[in-house]
Amino acid sequence: MQRKVTKAVFPVAGLGTRFLPATKSVPKEIMTLVDRPLIQYAIDEARAAGIKEFIFVTSRGKSALEDYFDTSPELEASLRKKGKDELLEVLQQTNMESGAIAYIRQHRALGLGHAVWCARRLIADEPFAVILPDDVIAGEKSCLQQMVEAYEETGGCMVAAMEVPPAKASAYGILDIESEDGAKVKVKAMVEKPKAEDAPSNLAVIGRYILTPDVMENLNRMKTGAGGEIQLTDAIADEIEAGRGVYGYRFRGQRFDCGSKAGFLQATVAFGLARPDLREEFSEYLAEMAALKNAAQ
Sites of contact with ligand G1P (CB under 6 A): 112, 132, 135, 172-173, 192, 204-207, 232-233, 259
Amino acid at 143: C
Question: Measured from the CB of residue 86, what is the shortest distance to ligand G1P in angstroms?
Answer: 34
Beta strand 173-181 pairing with 184-192 = antiparallel
The answer to whether 220 and 117 have CB atoms below 8 angstroms apart is yes
Q: Work out how close the CB of 171 gets to ligand G1P at its nearest, in angstroms, rounded to a whole number.
A: 7
Half-sphere exposure of 296 (CA within 13 A, CB side): 6
Q: Smallest distance from the beta carbon of 290 to ligand G1P, in angstroms? A: 30
CB of 256 to ligand G1P, least distance (A): 11
User: Would you list the DSSP string of 31-52?
Assistant: SEETTEEHHHHHHHHHHHTT--
Burial class from Cβ neighbours inside 10 Å (0-12, 13-18, 19+) for residue 94 reads middle
Which residue, 29 or 135, is less far from ligand G1P as judged by CB?
135
Identify which of residues 16 and 173 has a Cβ nearer to ligand G1P in the complex.
173
CB of 73: closest distance to ligand G1P in angstroms?
36
d(CA 45, CA 36): 13
> Of 81 and 195, which has the nearer Cβ to ligand G1P?
195
Nearer residue to ligand G1P within complex by CB, 5 or 12? 12
Output phi, psi for 105, to 5 deg: -90, 135
- Residue number of the CB atom closest to ligand G1P: 173
